[in-house]
Amino acid sequence: MDRMNDTLIDVPRGLTNVVAARTELGDVRGLEGFYHYRQYSAVDLARERTFEEAWHLLLFGSLPTAVELDAFRARIAAARVVPEPVRALLPAIAGLTADGDVLAGLRMALAAVAAADRARPLYDESADERVADAIRAAAIAPVLLAALHALAEGREPLDPREELGQVAGYLYLVTGRVPTAQQEAALSAYMTAAIDHGFNASTFTARVIASTGADLASAVGGALGALSGPLHGGAPSRALDTLDEIGTPDRTDEWVRRTLAGGGRVMGFGHAVYRTEDPRSRMLRGFAEGFGGPRVDFAVQVERRVQELLAELKPGRELHTNVEFYAGVVMEACGIPRSMFTPTFAAARVVGWTAHILEQAADAKILRPSSRYVGPSAPQPLPARVRAAS
């Protein structure tokens, strides 16, 4: 609901299709199976450009020249350095998170970095200072995630390697190995495709917090909190779990029919926005097939058969693979453990969140919707106070 001339206007539950703000950062056109960052197809960017180039586009409005890209990469590398007081805190943060939940740890670690950096509210900063904060948060988030993962496994975190780009550097920190060119290209495509995707719950949360003038780390922390919810964060690992449960192609029909009859979902299929094939899934299928091997062959077979079964069992519904299905296959081929699938998504999405935070902070208008009260009628007289028995 919004208040116009003191009149409350009801809107759909979940704010579905309600325009809450204007953005120049990108859009999702679900009926067409297309989304873009500024003036470029997001999938084209993921296939043909680096993660840093797409990041520069969202932050500054243009793809960088070669000179600008070198300078931007150097700026990112400098922003990856973890302050010593935060480095000392990381073991305690890792110990506080249940079951090695590195996303919960990232919320605490980013707040600690902001405190160590003496970060100020967005309201009090210049545009250049806000950009510096945005680069800092997005550059250091993968480093913190990888460090918390290492600590959760009882290993000493590795130090970032300045010569490696954002994606290769992240893979190195998580796996302990410098990735192959194929692995870097595949993960770069996935992470670039994951940078932004419309006004989803976490992006909207980040913008609401930014609209108050709070510091940037608080807005990112709020977005991470929204992403932690099971209805939003997605589950590439669960898509791989599905492949494991099916086991062999001949068991696909039985597994799908049994799962749907029991009211379950086939993870990795269907999307809230797309009514065609998810363009991210189509792209990642190509990268997965480039790796080849039994796992990829099996995934392709399962995808084809599941879509045939869904067309039979749920006629009239467009249920194609979504980004999660092949994202899990690609990340596994790159050596990323399943526990780090959603954190890897978050490492990419921080770039999109921070771009939205900057855009919202430039507006200087707090987001403050209304609500329609539907409780008991008011005002009513207070009942007589019940006195305690003596």
Q: What is the pLDDT of residues 334-360, one digit of tens each?
A: 999 999 999 999 999 999 999 999 999
Residues forming beta bridges with residue 7, ordered by sequence position: 4
Distances (CA, A) of 20 to 11, 14, 136, 368: 11, 12, 28, 11
Q: What is the CATH number of the domain that holds 309?
A: 1.10.230.10
pTM beyond 0.85: the answer is yes
Do 198 and 160 fall into the same domain?
A: yes
pLDDT of 272 reads: 67
Q: What is the CATH number of the domain that holds 128?
A: 1.10.580.10
Domain that holds residue 320: 236-333
Tens of pLDDT, residue by residue over 29-43, are 877 778 999 999 999
Do 301 and 168 fall into the same domain?
A: no
| pLDDT of 230 above 80 | no
Separation of alpha carbons 124 and 121, rounded Å: 6
pLDDT band at 4 (very low <50, low <70, confident <90, very high): very low
Residue 384: φ, ψ to 5° = -60, 140
Residue 319 lies in a domain: yes
Side chain identity, residue 305: R
Let me know: does 111 contact 196? Beta carbons within 8 Å: no
| pLDDT of 2 above 60 | no
**Number of compact structural domains in the chain:** 2
Residue 182 lies in a domain: yes
Do 74 and 165 fall into the same domain?
A: yes
Do 293 and 202 fall into the same domain?
A: no
Separation of alpha carbons 229 and 233, rounded Å: 6
Do 328 and 353 fall into the same domain?
A: no
Residue among 56, 197, 271, 320 flagged as catalytic: 271
Which long-range CB contacts under 8 A does 90-93 form with residues at least 24 apart?
90/144, 90/147, 90/148, 90/151, 90/157, 91/151, 93/148
Which among 60, 67, 185, 184 has a CA at the least distance from the CA of 132?
60
Do 185 and 78 fall into the same domain?
A: yes
Distances (CA, A) of 41 to 193, 272, 353: 10, 20, 19
Can 149 be counted among the known catalytic residues? no
Do 278 and 356 fall into the same domain?
A: no
Please give the average per-residue pLDDT across 194-212, as a whole number: 95
Do 177 and 46 fall into the same domain?
A: yes
Residue 335: φ, ψ to 5° = 90, 10
Do 195 and 312 fall into the same domain?
A: no
Separation of alpha carbons 214 and 155, rounded Å: 35
Can 289 be counted among the known catalytic residues? no
Concatenating the DSSP letter of every residue in 155-186 gives -PPPPPPTTS-HHHHHHHHHHSSPPPHHHHHH
pLDDT band at 239 (very low <50, low <70, confident <90, very high): confident
Which among 323, 383, 128, 342 has a CA at the least distance from the CA of 229?
342
Separation of alpha carbons 225 and 220, rounded Å: 9
Do 309 and 352 fall into the same domain?
A: no
Residue 307 lies in a domain: yes
Do 204 and 300 fall into the same domain?
A: no
Residue 289 lies in a domain: yes
Mean pLDDT (the chain) is 91
Question: Which residues are CB-neighbours of 281 under 8 A, at least 6 positions away?
Answer: 320, 321, 322, 323, 325, 326
| pLDDT of 287 above 70 | yes
pLDDT band at 1 (very low <50, low <70, confident <90, very high): very low
Separation of alpha carbons 190 and 288, rounded Å: 11
Do 54 and 163 fall into the same domain?
A: yes
Residue among 197, 324, 332, 356 flagged as catalytic: 324
Concatenating the DSSP letter of every residue in 236-300 gives HHHHHHHHHHH-SGGGHHHHHHHHHHTT---TTB--SS-SS--HHHHHHHHHHHHH-SHHHHHHH
Q: Mean pLDDT check: name the lowest of 25-29, 265-269, 361-365.
A: 265-269
Question: Which residues are CB-neighbours of 67 under 8 A, at least 6 positions away?
Answer: none
Separation of alpha carbons 107 and 223, rounded Å: 9
